[in-house]
Structure formats: structure tokens, C-alpha cells
């Protein structure tokens, strides 16, 4: 079992030192085998939390710590964190020409393996074909440049393809459901559910209960004002769908 632990995390945007902290003390513990959902209104720090865990250089940790298996990762660069087991499925995946989807995914897999034990091309292709079929992606998408000219839905599906090929310990999924039609949502959820198991934990950020009908979380957290103000089981998400976030107050024990 592996653990990802967030301790009293305070975060600022580096470029705006005058701006108040976006995260004001987040505490969270995620273990492999668990799926946690993070919900909350816009502008409450959900994406900041995911980006900060991944090590996005735009954010600065002013207090607290992030630990994997008890070891702080704050001093680690983005790529080291990735190789330590983190994966961030991004809200806006970048388009990069000149490198095909397949080449890129193979490079990402090989980055985790020793130089003298790189994945065999035939094994890789077999695995890629199978995973793409699961996600109902046409074969041609393997040879297209990374996210180049992909529709919003294709990009999200491609994030899940990478997640499934890379096999990280922790998948942070930032609004993986935004911009997806109901069929694409079902397919993306199928991919995440296939990852479920003792070696995989996930933190799913979403605005909507709908995604959580397909991926049933073990724990639901509600964020507001830069911290988690309430945690509960899957029912909490359903309750919020009815009541909204407005009545929840920062700094008070709700529920």
C-alpha cells in the first residue's frame, strides 16, 4: 500500500505574491485502493490543490507538506514526482506537435524503467492497442501528434489512455468530465474503474455528481475557501447535488 498525504497545505500563486493564499490549510490522506472525490464551488482551490501536488512551478507552498509514503516531495521536480507515482489528468492538456501519441506514451513508460530494461516495442504496441480499444479510440490516434487537433473529448480520453498505460500509484483527475458528452463520460469512467485496485488510488475533482454515478468514490470531500470543510461517503455528493454549496460555511463544522 502507498499513501499520499497532504498536511496543512497553504499555497500562493508565485506571480501574485500580494494575492491572498489560495489554499489555506488542506489536510487529506489518500491511500492506494481508495478513490476520493473533491467537490466544491468554482474558485475554491481544487485545481490548485491538484497542480500543487504535481509540482506546477506556478504555485508556491508557503506552509505545510505533501508526502508520499511518509517522505516529503516538496523538494522534487515535476518529473521526479511523476516517477514517484503521481499522475495528473489535466483540465487543459497541451498540444505538442512533432511527437506522436504512441512515441510520447512509450517515452513516459520508459522514463520509469532503467536504461537497460526499456519496454519492448511489440509489448508496448500490444498494450496500447488493447487500451485504446477499451477506450473506444480509433487506432489512428496513436500516430497523431500529441493532442494536436484533438477535440475536447478526445483530449480527455487521451489523458485516461496515458493514465492506463503509465500505471501510476495516484491518479489526480482534474475535471476529467468537463466537456464530455454522456457516452464519452461513460467510457472515461470505465477506464478509471478498470484502474481500481490495491495498487491505485485516485483523487477526482469534479463539479458534478454525475461523474460519481459512474465512478463511485470511497470518500467525498467538499472544498470551500481553500480548505476541506466537510468529508463523507458517496451520499454526501448526492446531498450536495440537491442543496448546492451556498449554505456551507468556511470555518464551521458542517453536516
Partner 1 sequence: MNTLKWVNKMVETTTLPAPNLPKFPLARYLKNQPDAVEDRVVLHAPQAIAYAAGSSEVQRFTPTNSLDAWLLRSPQGATTVDIPAHFVSGDDPIVLTGPKNAGGLLYVHVGKGAKVTLQEKWASGGHVLGIWLMLVVEADADVNWLSYDSFTADTVLVNRTATLAANAKLNWTLAGFSHNSGLNRVDVRLLGHNAEVTVNVGVLASGNQHVNYTTSVTNEGQHTVGHINQRGVITGNAHLMFNGIGHIIKGARGSDAQQENRVLMLSQRAEGDANPILLIDENDVTAGHAASVTRVNADQLYYLMSRGLSATLAKRLVIRGFLEGGLAEIDDVRLKKELFATIDRTLVAEDA
- Give the shortest CB-227-to-partner 1 separation in angstroms: 24
Of 74 and 99, nearer to partner 1 (C-beta) is 99
Specify whether the CB–CB gap between 95 and 146 falls below 8 A.
Answer: yes
Kindly give the interhelix angle for 152-166 and 101-110, rounded to the nearest 10 degrees: 30
Instruction: Answer yes or no whether residue 124 interacts with partner 1 by CB under 8 A.
Output: no
3-state helix, strand, coil in the chain (%, to 5): 35, 30, 35
* Buried-state track 89-110, b at ≥16 Cβ within 10 A, e below 16: bbbebeeeeeebbbebbbebbe
Instruction: Answer yes or no whether residue 107 interacts with partner 1 by CB under 8 A.
Output: yes
Given candidates 104, 124, 214, 245, which one binds partner 1 under the rule CB under 8 A? 104
Given candidates 44, 131, 158, 162, which one binds partner 1 under the rule CB under 8 A? 162
- Give the shortest CB-205-to-partner 1 separation in angstroms: 15
Instruction: Answer yes or no whether residue 121 interacts with partner 1 by CB under 8 A.
Output: no
Given candidates 98, 114, 149, 197, which one binds partner 1 under the rule CB under 8 A? 98
Instruction: Answer yes or no whether residue 88 interacts with partner 1 by CB under 8 A.
Output: yes
| Residue 61: Cβ within 10 Å count | 15
Instruction: Answer yes or no whether residue 176 interacts with partner 1 by CB under 8 A.
Output: no
Of 17 and 98, nearer to partner 1 (C-beta) is 98
For residues 93 and 187, what is the distance between their CA atoms, to the nearest angstrom? 18
Given candidates 79, 136, 139, 183, which one binds partner 1 under the rule CB under 8 A? 79
Stretch that binds partner 1, among 2-10, 68-76, 91-99, 178-186 (CB under 8 A): 91-99
- Give the shortest CB-104-to-partner 1 separation in angstroms: 7
Three-state DSSP class for residue 69: coil
For residues 23 and 140, what is the distance between their CA atoms, to the nearest angstrom? 41
- Give the shortest CB-146-to-partner 1 separation in angstroms: 8
For residues 235 and 232, what is the distance between their CA atoms, to the nearest angstrom? 7
For residues 184 and 135, what is the distance between their CA atoms, to the nearest angstrom? 9
Question: Where does this chain bind partner 1 (CB under 8 A)?
Answer: 54-57, 77-79, 82-83, 87-88, 90, 93-94, 96-99, 104, 107-108, 111-112, 145, 162, 166
Amino acid at each position: 500500500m502507498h499513501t499520499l498525504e497532504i498536511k496543512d497545505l497553504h499555497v500562493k500563486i508565485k506571480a501574485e505574491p500580494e494575492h491572498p493564499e489560495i489554499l489555506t490549510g488542506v489536510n487529506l490522506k489518500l491511500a492506494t485502493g481508495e478513490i476520493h472525490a473533491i467537490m466544491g464551488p468554482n474558485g475554491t482551490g481544487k485545481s490548485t490543490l491538484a497542480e500543487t501536488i504535481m509540482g506546477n512551478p506556478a504555485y508556491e507552498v508557503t506552509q505545510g507538506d505533501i508526502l508520499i509514503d511518509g517522505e516529503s516531495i516538496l523538494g522534487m521536480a515535476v518529473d521526479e514526482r511523476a516517477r514517484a507515482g503521481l499522475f495528473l489528468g489535466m483540465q487543459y492538456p497541451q498540444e505538442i506537435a512533432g511527437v506522436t501519441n504512441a512515441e510520447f506514451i512509450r517515452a513516459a513508460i520508459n522514463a520509469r524503467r532503467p536504461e537497460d530494461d526499456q519496454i519492448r516495442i511489440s509489448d508496448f504496441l500490444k498494450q496500447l492497442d488493447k487500451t485504446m480499444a477499451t477506450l473506444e479510440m480509433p487506432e489512428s490516434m496513436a500516430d497523431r501528434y500529441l493532442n494536436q487537433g484533438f477535440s475536447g473529448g478526445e483530449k480527455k480520453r487521451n489523458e485516461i489512455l496515458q493514465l492506463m498505460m503509465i500505471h501510476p500509484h495516484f491518479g489526480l483527475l482534474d475535471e476529467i468530465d468537463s466537456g464530455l458528452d454522456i457516452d464519452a463520460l461513460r467510457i472515461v469512467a470505465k477506464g478509471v474503474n478498470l484502474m481500481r485496485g490495491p495498487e491505485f488510488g485516485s483523487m477526482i475533482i469534479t463539479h458534478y455528481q454525475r461523474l460519481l454515478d459512474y465512478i463511485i468514490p470511497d470518500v467525498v470531500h467538499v472544498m470551500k475557501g481553500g480548505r476541506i470543510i466537510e468529508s463523507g461517503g458517496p451520499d454526501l455528493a448526492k446531498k450536495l447535488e440537491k442543496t448546492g454549496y451556498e449554505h456551507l460555511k468556511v470555518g464551521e463544522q458542517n453536516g
